[in-house]
Structure 1
Amino acid sequence: MTCYVDVPAHRDLASFDKDWKQLIGTRAEVHHGGKLIRAGIIDDIMTDSGIVWLASNGVERRVLYDINSGYQIRLLPGGP
Protein backbone atom coordinates (compact mmCIF):
# COMPACT_ATOMS: atom_id res chain seq x y z
CA MET A 1 0.00 0.00 0.00
CA THR A 2 1.33 3.43 -0.90
CA CYS A 3 1.04 6.21 1.69
CA TYR A 4 0.72 9.84 0.75
CA VAL A 5 1.98 12.61 2.98
CA ASP A 6 0.82 16.19 2.63
CA VAL A 7 3.85 18.46 2.91
CA PRO A 8 4.32 22.18 2.29
CA ALA A 9 5.65 23.15 -1.14
CA HIS A 10 9.43 22.87 -1.50
CA ARG A 11 10.00 21.39 1.94
CA ASP A 12 13.49 19.88 2.15
CA LEU A 13 13.74 16.15 2.75
CA ALA A 14 16.23 16.80 5.56
CA SER A 15 13.55 18.61 7.57
CA PHE A 16 11.03 15.74 7.36
CA ASP A 17 10.71 14.12 10.79
CA LYS A 18 8.36 11.15 10.23
CA ASP A 19 8.59 7.60 8.90
CA TRP A 20 10.61 7.94 5.66
CA LYS A 21 8.70 5.10 3.96
CA GLN A 22 5.54 7.26 4.13
CA LEU A 23 7.13 9.44 1.47
CA ILE A 24 6.82 6.72 -1.18
CA GLY A 25 4.40 8.07 -3.76
CA THR A 26 5.13 11.71 -2.92
CA ARG A 27 6.07 14.14 -5.69
CA ALA A 28 9.56 15.59 -5.34
CA GLU A 29 12.23 17.60 -7.11
CA VAL A 30 15.92 16.65 -7.19
CA HIS A 31 18.42 19.52 -7.12
CA HIS A 32 22.21 19.50 -7.41
CA GLY A 33 24.42 22.55 -7.21
CA GLY A 34 21.34 24.76 -7.00
CA LYS A 35 19.93 23.44 -10.29
CA LEU A 36 16.82 21.37 -10.83
CA ILE A 37 17.87 17.94 -12.12
CA ARG A 38 14.54 16.14 -12.26
CA ALA A 39 11.05 16.07 -10.81
CA GLY A 40 9.11 12.89 -10.20
CA ILE A 41 7.55 10.52 -7.72
CA ILE A 42 9.51 8.89 -4.89
CA ASP A 43 9.53 5.18 -5.67
CA ASP A 44 11.60 4.06 -2.67
CA ILE A 45 13.69 5.60 0.09
CA MET A 46 16.19 4.20 2.59
CA THR A 47 15.14 4.36 6.23
CA ASP A 48 17.91 6.88 6.98
CA SER A 49 16.89 9.06 3.97
CA GLY A 50 20.41 8.74 2.49
CA ILE A 51 19.25 7.23 -0.80
CA VAL A 52 16.11 8.10 -2.74
CA TRP A 53 14.75 6.39 -5.87
CA LEU A 54 12.55 8.34 -8.28
CA ALA A 55 10.13 6.22 -10.30
CA SER A 56 10.43 5.81 -14.03
CA ASN A 57 8.20 8.12 -16.05
CA GLY A 58 7.82 7.82 -19.81
CA VAL A 59 11.31 7.71 -21.31
CA GLU A 60 12.94 8.59 -17.97
CA ARG A 61 14.11 5.47 -16.16
CA ARG A 62 14.09 4.80 -12.42
CA VAL A 63 17.03 6.67 -10.88
CA LEU A 64 18.86 6.48 -7.54
CA TYR A 65 20.03 9.71 -5.87
CA ASP A 66 22.58 9.59 -3.03
CA ILE A 67 22.02 12.53 -0.70
CA ASN A 68 25.65 12.30 0.45
CA SER A 69 26.74 13.14 -3.11
CA GLY A 70 25.27 16.63 -2.90
CA TYR A 71 21.74 15.96 -4.16
CA GLN A 72 18.91 17.77 -2.43
CA ILE A 73 15.36 16.42 -2.46
CA ARG A 74 12.51 18.90 -2.18
CA LEU A 75 9.08 17.52 -1.47
CA LEU A 76 6.13 18.89 -3.39
CA PRO A 77 2.54 18.96 -2.11
CA GLY A 78 0.19 16.06 -2.78
CA GLY A 79 0.60 12.59 -4.23
CA PRO A 80 1.01 11.54 -7.85
Structure 2
Amino acid sequence: MAVQGTARNSMHCTDQWQALAGEWVEVRLGGHLYRTGVVDDVMPDASGLWIARDGLLPRKFIDAASGFEVWTSLYPRSGSDGF
Protein backbone atom coordinates (compact mmCIF):
# COMPACT_ATOMS: atom_id res chain seq x y z
CA MET A 1 0.00 0.00 0.00
CA ALA A 2 1.43 3.39 -0.94
CA VAL A 3 0.93 6.34 1.36
CA GLN A 4 1.99 9.73 0.01
CA GLY A 5 4.48 7.91 -2.24
CA THR A 6 5.93 5.90 0.64
CA ALA A 7 5.46 2.19 1.22
CA ARG A 8 3.82 1.66 4.58
CA ASN A 9 6.45 -0.89 5.60
CA SER A 10 9.16 1.77 5.26
CA MET A 11 7.63 3.76 8.11
CA HIS A 12 9.01 3.55 11.63
CA CYS A 13 8.33 4.97 15.04
CA THR A 14 10.32 8.08 15.96
CA ASP A 15 10.76 10.24 19.02
CA GLN A 16 12.35 13.01 16.93
CA TRP A 17 9.10 14.98 16.80
CA GLN A 18 10.83 18.38 16.53
CA ALA A 19 11.73 17.79 12.86
CA LEU A 20 8.31 16.56 11.71
CA ALA A 21 6.59 19.88 10.91
CA GLY A 22 5.15 19.62 7.41
CA GLU A 23 5.62 15.84 7.23
CA TRP A 24 2.91 13.22 6.73
CA VAL A 25 2.75 10.83 9.69
CA GLU A 26 0.74 8.04 11.25
CA VAL A 27 -0.18 8.41 14.91
CA ARG A 28 -0.72 5.19 16.82
CA LEU A 29 -2.01 4.49 20.31
CA GLY A 30 -1.87 1.08 21.93
CA GLY A 31 -0.65 -0.46 18.69
CA HIS A 32 -3.66 0.79 16.72
CA LEU A 33 -3.85 3.51 14.10
CA TYR A 34 -5.31 6.63 15.73
CA ARG A 35 -4.89 9.32 13.07
CA THR A 36 -2.92 10.17 9.96
CA GLY A 37 -2.07 13.55 8.57
CA VAL A 38 0.38 16.37 8.16
CA VAL A 39 2.16 17.70 11.23
CA ASP A 40 1.07 21.33 11.54
CA ASP A 41 3.29 22.37 14.45
CA VAL A 42 5.52 20.82 17.11
CA MET A 43 6.33 21.74 20.70
CA PRO A 44 10.02 22.79 20.94
CA ASP A 45 10.66 20.16 23.62
CA ALA A 46 8.93 17.39 21.58
CA SER A 47 6.27 16.98 24.27
CA GLY A 48 3.54 17.17 21.66
CA LEU A 49 2.56 18.05 18.13
CA TRP A 50 -0.50 19.13 16.17
CA ILE A 51 -1.94 17.23 13.24
CA ALA A 52 -3.40 19.67 10.71
CA ARG A 53 -7.12 19.86 10.03
CA ASP A 54 -8.12 17.46 7.25
CA GLY A 55 -11.60 17.78 5.80
CA LEU A 56 -14.04 17.26 8.66
CA LEU A 57 -11.30 16.16 11.06
CA PRO A 58 -10.25 19.07 13.29
CA ARG A 59 -6.70 20.05 14.14
CA LYS A 60 -5.60 17.63 16.86
CA PHE A 61 -2.99 17.91 19.62
CA ILE A 62 -0.99 14.72 20.17
CA ASP A 63 0.60 14.56 23.62
CA ALA A 64 3.71 12.38 23.92
CA ALA A 65 3.01 11.72 27.61
CA SER A 66 -0.30 10.05 26.71
CA GLY A 67 1.46 7.15 25.00
CA PHE A 68 1.02 8.17 21.38
CA GLU A 69 3.59 6.90 18.87
CA VAL A 70 4.40 8.86 15.72
CA TRP A 71 5.44 6.86 12.67
CA THR A 72 7.25 8.47 9.74
CA SER A 73 9.41 7.65 6.75
CA LEU A 74 11.46 10.83 7.25
CA TYR A 75 14.37 9.11 9.00
CA PRO A 76 14.97 5.71 7.42
CA ARG A 77 16.40 3.11 9.76
CA SER A 78 19.92 1.93 9.13
CA GLY A 79 20.88 -1.71 8.79
CA SER A 80 18.28 -4.06 7.37
CA ASP A 81 16.79 -1.45 5.02
CA GLY A 82 20.08 -1.16 3.14
CA PHE A 83 21.02 2.29 4.40
After TM superposition, the score normalised by the length of structure 2 is: 0.70
Matched, 1:26 2:40: no
Percent of counterpart pairs with the same letter? 31
Larger Rg: 2
Matched, 1:11 2:8: no
Question: Given residue 35 of structure 1, which amino acid in structure 2 is its aligned partner?
Answer: H
Contact 1:26 1:76 in 2 (8 A): no
**Structure 2 partner of 1:49:** 46
Give the secondary structure class of the aligned counterpart of 1:68: helix
Give the secondary structure class of the aligned counterpart of 2:44: coil
Structure 1: 5+ residue runs without aligned partners? 1-8
Question: Given residue 60 of structure 1, which amino acid in structure 2 is its aligned partner?
Answer: L
Structure 1 residue ranges, 4+ long, deviating more than 6 angstroms after superposition: none
Contact 1:29 1:76 in 2 (8 A): no
Structure 2: 5+ residue runs without aligned partners? 1-9, 75-83
Q: How many aligned residue pairs are there? A: 66
After TM superposition, the score normalised by the length of structure 1 is: 0.72
